[in-house]
Structure 1
Amino acid sequence: MENMGEVEKFADSESFKICVSVMEETVEKSLKFVKDVHDKVYSKNVPHMYEFRLDYLNKSELSIENIEKILKCDCEKIITVRWDWEGGKWNNEKESVLGSLGILKRAIDFNVEYIDIEHKNLERVKEELKNYRDTKGSTTKIIVSYHDFMKTDAFSVIRGIIEEEYKYGDIAKIATAICQNRENCNILRACSWYKPKIIAIGMGELGKITRVHGPQFGSMITFCTVSKEKASAPGQLHIDDLVEIWERFYR
C-alpha cells in the first residue's frame, strides 16, 4: 500500500492497540491461528495483540496443561472466558471440567497482559480476582466488560456502568448495539471522558464508526478480524479494511 508512513505511525501508536480475537475449538488450532496471522503480511506491526476466547475451546481441551500452552504463547494477549449469558460459549457443563475462575487465576500467575471478566459477574467473583492479583503482585491488568446486544443507553447510564466497572477493574470496557447514528456520540464521549483506561465500542453496522475513530477519542483497543466469517462481534472490520480507511483519512 502506498503512502503508508503516517498510517504506520498511527497504527504504531502506544495510546491504543489493534486486537484480533482467537476463537478456535482446540489449543493447537488457537496457536496455529496466531502463527498464521504472524506469517501473513498485514499492515506493518498489526495486530498488536490477541484476545484468546477460551470459552470456545471444546470440553475435551479443558486442562490446566492445555491452558498453560496458550498462556505461554509469545504475544501480547487478553485471556477471556466469556459466559453464554454474555454472548460467549462458556456454560455450566464446561465449568464442571475446569472452572473459569481457576483459568483466570492461572493467567494472573503467568502475568499475562490482560484478563477480561464480565461486569455482570457476581461481586464476590470480581473481588476475588482483584484480591488474588494484588496478593500475587501480578502485573496483569483486569478488564471489566459490559455488553448489550440490543441497545445503547444514554450517556448518563453508560457512565454509571463504567464507574462501577472501575471498582474491580483497571480498564472499563463497554460494547453496545447502535440502533441510531446519534448513539455513536455516547460511545465516543465515553472514550474521551475516560481515556486512556477505556475500551468503548458501538456494535453493528451503524457502530463501525466507533471502531475506526474510537482510538482517536481515547479507546485503548479496537477489535478487528482477519476472517469476516469469524468476527467476534457484530460490525467488526477486517484488519486490512481498517488500515485502508486509516490510509485514506490520515495520510
Structure 2
Amino acid sequence: MICVSISGQTASQILEELNHVSMAEIRLDLLNLSDNEIMEVFEAHPNLIATYRPGRVTEIERTRQLKLALKHGATWIDIELEAPTDWKKEMIMFASKLGKKVIISTHNFEKTPTTDELLSLVEVMQKEGADLVKLACLADSAAACARLLSLYERYKNILVIGMGPHGSITRIAAPFLGAPFTFAAGTAGKTAPGQFTFSEMQRAIQLINHGE
C-alpha cells in the first residue's frame, strides 16, 4: 500500500486528493487548517495518519490538534521517539483508548547508524509501545541501504526508510519486505528527501508485480 504524505494544501484540495488514494498522512505541521477543517478531513477517509512535528506551535496546541484528529477518525498517530516520555505516554494512552494505532518514528538526517545501533533503536521504540516502528535515516551508500533493509528479517511491524537519492530503493522495497505501507509525495510536493511522487511509486510497484 502507498501512503501519500499530504502537505501545503487547502482543506478542499486535501479532500479532493483523498478521493484518489487508499491511505494518506496528514502533515498538520505543514498545513493551516482550522479545527472544523481538521475534523472534516479526518472524517472523510478511513485510513489516515495524523502527524504534527514539533517546533511550529506550542506543545499544548500540537497535542490538542493531534487529539482532535484522533477523535475524528485518524487511524494512526505518528509521534517522535525523541519526544518527552510523559507526552509519549499521554498520546499512546489516548490513542489506545480510542482503538487507534501508534507509529513511533525517529529521523537521522546525517547518517545511517551501525547495525547494532539500529537494532537498539527498534527495541527501544517497540518497548515504548509502538504498533509500528518508523526508522528513517540518510542513506549515502548501498551498504547503508542494506543495513536498513536487513531489519525486516528480524522484526515485524516496522518501516525503514533510506532518505536521499541513494535510499530510494528502500522506499520501493518496503512493501515487498513486510512493511504495511510505503510513503510517497502528494500533489503539493515532497515532504522528505528522496521521496517519490505517488505516480512514480505506483509505477515502480506495478513493474515489480507484473514486470511490465
Q: Same fold (TM over 0.5)?
A: yes
Paired residue for 1:77, among 41, 48, 68? 48
Conserved? CA contact 2:25–2:50, under 8 Å = yes
Q: What's the offset of the Cα at 1:216?
A: 1.6
Q: Which residue of 2 aligns with 1:57?
A: 31
Could you say if the C-alpha distance between residues 244 and 70 of structure 1 is closer, same or farther in structure 2, counting changes exceeding 3 Å?
A: closer
Amino acid at match of 1:126: K
| Match status 1:105 vs 2:67 | yes
In the TM superposition, what whole-angstrom CA distance separates every residue of 1:179-236 from its partner, at most 9, and x where no partner exists?
A: 12111111111223212x1111111111011111122222222111254x70111111
Could you say if the C-alpha distance between residues 65 and 205 of structure 1 is closer, same or farther in structure 2, counting changes exceeding 3 Å?
A: same
Could you say if the C-alpha distance between residues 220 and 121 of structure 1 is closer, same or farther in structure 2, counting changes exceeding 3 Å?
A: same
Alignment RMSD, CA only?
Answer: 2.0
| Cα distance in 1 for residues equivalent to 2:42 and 2:28 | 11
Q: What's the offset of the Cα at 1:149?
A: 1.2
Identity of aligned residues (%): 29
Paired residue for 2:171, among 211, 227, 231? 211
| Match status 1:141 vs 2:115 | no
Paired residue for 2:76, among 114, 129, 135? 114
The structure having more radius of gyration, on CA atoms, is: 1
Please, which runs of 5 or more residues in structure 2 have no aligned partner? none
Amino acid at match of 1:215: P
Q: What's the offset of the Cα at 1:25?
A: 4.6
Q: Which residue of 1 aligns with 2:209?
A: 250
Amino acid at match of 1:48: S
1:162-201 equivalences in 2 (<5 Å): 162-166=122-126, 167-195=128-156, 197-201=157-161
1:18-97 equivalences in 2 (<5 Å): 18-35=2-19, 38=20, 47-58=21-32, 61=33, 63-84=34-55, 91=56, 94-95=57-58
User: TM-score normalized by structure 1?
Assistant: 0.76
In the TM superposition, what whole-angstrom CA distance separates every residue of 1:69-109 from its partner, at most 9, and x where no partner exists?
A: 1221224110100124xxxxxx2xx338x711112222332
Amino acid at match of 1:180: S
Please, which runs of 5 or more residues in structure 1 have no aligned partner? 1-16, 39-46, 85-90
Q: Which residue of 1 aligns with 2:121?
A: 161
Q: Which residue of 2 aligns with 1:127?
A: 89
Q: After superposing the two structures, state which structure 1 stretch, 106-115 or 163-172, moved more.
A: 106-115
Q: Which residue of 1 aligns with 2:190?
A: 231
User: TM-score normalized by structure 2?
Assistant: 0.89
Conserved? CA contact 1:108–1:140, under 8 Å = yes
| Cα distance in 1 for residues equivalent to 2:93 and 2:203 | 43
Size of the aligned set, in residue pairs, is 209
